[in-house]
Amino acid sequence: MSAKFYEEIINNYKKLYETKEGYDVKIYAGEKPNIKEFHVHSFILKTQSEFYKKAFIAKDGIEKKDGHFILNSSHSPKVLEILLRMKFLL
């Protein structure tokens, strides 16, 4: 497959992350009063990260509320943003 095909897929992931369209996961990062909420897609988390794949299988630290999976991150909001962008844009 051509590089253009992969570039298009990456751009689609980027748009999906930035628009938050159809997200089913809320990740909270930081400490009060500076907590940031991230909206992401479980499908992408599970396919792009072994950590999240295992967490979803084990349901370890994951709850479901109002149709969304809820996760709490030990990372700072800035670090989590970098990690999420890496997972969505690789």
Domains of the chain: 3-89 (3.30.710.10)
* Residuewise pLDDT in 10s, the chain (90 residues): 688 888 888 888 888 888 888 999 999 999 988 899 999 999 988 988 888 899 899 987 899 999 999 999 989 999 999 988 887 655
CA-to-CA dists, residue 5 to 10, 33, 40, 47, 48, angstroms:
9, 43, 23, 19, 18
Q: What single DSSP character describes residue 51?
A: H
What integer pLDDT is reported at residue 81 of this predicted model? 92
Helix, coil or strand: residue 66: coil
What integer pLDDT is reported at residue 89 of this predicted model? 58
